[in-house]
A and B are shown apart, each in its own frame.
Chain A
Amino acid sequence: MPEFLQHLANAVILGGTYALLGIGLTLIFGIMRVVNFTHGELYTFGAYMAFMLAGMFGLNFFASLALAATLGMALGALIEFALLRPLKGADIDTTMLVMIGAGIAMQAGEQLMWGGVAKSVPNPFPTEPVVLGPVSVGPIRLFVLAVAVVLLVVFYLLLNRTKLGIAMRATFQDPDTAALMGVNNGLMYTLTFAIGSGLAAVAGALLGPIFVVTPTMGDLVALKAFAIVILGGLGNIPGATIGGFVLALAEEFGAGYLSSGYRDAMGFLLIIAVLLVRPQGLFAAKERIG
């Protein structure tokens, strides 16, 4: 039983960052229909920014976190503006291939700039774990979970309670009608991509002190983000949140009780299973596939 609770605690903490990645991608995939292969690179970018600001320049960790998010948003906006906007109207395969090209170039850029040696972001918290009954958790992990939950709530409110959020959802449902109502579709696309990218960068920066930072760290993460999006259903924000936690639970318990070597395979097995049994995602009511 204590072992079970420990796995559960680990899964919940991991699930928070997965949810951040998932909602970022589900927006981009859902609203813009872009199969975004730069998502993992933005995650890596965020982690490197945290390393550079906190580790090299000695900036406060929390300030570097905010800066990493902002820079991630800026980079996302740049990608949208330079690569996706000119391709408007192209089919999904074309934009996907452009994003693959961009992802390759970005990863090589990270390698060029910071080298292949793993870096680590200094941990601002005491390393002594917090013991809660049978479960012990590092303070940094609790902080990661707290930030993830706060961001999820803020994001949910943004989308449902603000004019901007309504405009974004309108663009998602029907871009033409939204445009007739005075919504600037182009701006919505840029903002959506920037926000999604910012969330990925924050996730990377948050995990920087827990894991190590390498140029290829985004590869698996990007694929996992797709798994989360598909689990939750395309463009479904609560779905992606739950999907993030489902994937974390599957990985944590799969690794704990089945085989730790197949930890990273769980996401892919889930994708295959979900798409074959319930291709519209676990939580989506209506979505035409293909």
Chain B
Amino acid sequence: MTARLLPWLFVAFMAVLPLWMHDQYILYVLTSTGIFIIAAMSLNLLLGYTGQLSLGHVAFFGIGAYTSALLSLGFDLDLGGAEPFVLDPQPVWIAFLGGILMAAVFGWLIGRLAFRVRGAYFVIVTISFAQVMRMVALNWVDLTEGPMALNNIPPLTVWWPGEGFVPLYSKEHYYLLVLAVGVLSYVIIHRLVQSRVGRALIALRENESLARSVGINVTRYLVIATVVSAGMAGAAGGLYTHYIRIVDPDIFMFIYTVTMVIMVITGGKGTLAGPVVGGLLFGFLPEVLRDVARPEVQWIIYGAVMIVIIFFLPQGIVPAVGKLFSRKKKHPRHDARTPTAPRITEGASS
């Protein structure tokens, strides 16, 4: 009972936070952490539930960010014809949805192509995809402004009775918006992994040949998962770009993917709460360390924490705490809804 109420208590707590927390800096950290948690949740759908480690996930985040920014700013593009193609600035929410759609389309494409290979090869194809995206963002200066970055991106708006669409300039309001999108993403993933699709995904994670032999169309389900995951990462990218209101090719940096992976692994891959717990930890760790350590030392600690967690808590924090909890109750619960990730102890092929 408490386990089911816990997420909602957490959401309620986070929702009333701005009522008494007026520190703008903490709200800023919470908002950007929240955006990364959404991205980490989307990665968890692939990494945790299908067992495929995509190290190019930031590509979807960046595609969502760039598409949303470009649609909301408008652009003109010389396609070789007599007249350049001109797009007028679109309303921000249309742009935001366009970003999600574009990321999902790329998710479909990558899913169709990359799942021909598995394991380390899949990882390398996904990294390469993100790197190529970064090169495109750097070099297609006509469209993306390259390293000069896209500036003055309008903030997202909210509809208010009597006033119409009001831009969200205040940190409190943007924080609540990110929280709402985060809750929505959580619910979507929750519904998805409990559905037939989710069971198929978990089956293929546990034993792909067995899943195939009972008639699960493995590629189809992997592509579905990738499309949903990519769209969600694109939404996170859109939230990010309309929040910081500037986007440059560095958004495709490998280190952002690594950050998402660390959040998922630390919290517990294949658990719903894992990315949230890991995300809060790694969102705030740099802030806590800021006063005591130089940035380089922070990164060393970051790397070391990652190694220590994989050595000593290979399944992540959430399953470890869950195990502790069920041991106290003397009879371990087998809850189909919160599958843990047993893959880590599997023997290697060598």
Contact = CB atoms under 8 A, between A and B. Distances in A.
Interface of A: 29, 32-33, 35, 83, 86-94, 96-98, 100-109, 111-112, 175, 219, 223, 226-227, 230, 259, 261-262, 264-265, 267-269, 271-272, 275-276, 279, 289-290
B124 A112 contact: no
Given A94-B344, A105-B299, A223 B116 contact: no
A93 B349 contact: no
Given A100-B306, A108-B303, 7 more contacts: A35-B124, A91-B343, A112-B300, A265-B131, A265-B132, A272-B125, A272-B128
A104 B256 CA distance: 12
Contact of A275 (B125, B135, B255): B125
A111 B296 contact: yes
A101 B307 contact: yes
Given A96-B120, A98-B307, A226-B124, A91 B348 contact: yes
Interface of B: 53, 113, 116-125, 127-129, 131-132, 135-136, 138-139, 254-255, 258, 261, 265, 294, 296-300, 302-307, 310-311, 314, 343-350
Contacts of B139: 259, 261-262
Contacts of A29: 120
B118 to A, nearest CB: 3
Given A94-B314, A100-B258, A112-B296, A223 B127 contact: yes
Contacts of B296: 108-109, 111-112
B258 to A, nearest CB: 6
Contacts of A272: 113, 125, 128-129, 132
A93 B261 CA distance: 11
A290 B299 contact: no
Contacts of B118: 289-290
Contact of A33 (B122, B255, B348): B348
A33 B131 contact: no
A271 B119 contact: no
Given A226-B124, A269-B132, A105 B303 contact: yes
**Which has the most chain A C-beta neighbours within 10 Å: B136, B297, B310, B347?**
B310
- Chief secondary structure at chain B's binding surface: helix
Contact of A261 (B135, B314, B344): B135
B289 to A, nearest CB: 12
A249 to B, nearest CB: 18
B131 A108 contact: no
A105 B344 contact: no
Given A97-B306, A289-B121, A92 B132 contact: no
Nearest to B294: A112
Nearest to A269: B132
Contacts of A94: 310, 314, 344
A97 B254 CA distance: 13
B281 to A, nearest CB: 15
A290 B118 CA distance: 4
A83 B311 CA distance: 9
Nearest to B314: A94
B306 A275 contact: no
Given A101-B310, A109-B300, A275-B121, A32 B350 contact: yes
Contacts of B136: 265
Closest A-B pairs by Cβ, 3 of them: A290-B118, A105-B303, A108-B299
A97 B123 CA distance: 11
A92 B349 CA distance: 9
Contacts of A269: 128, 132
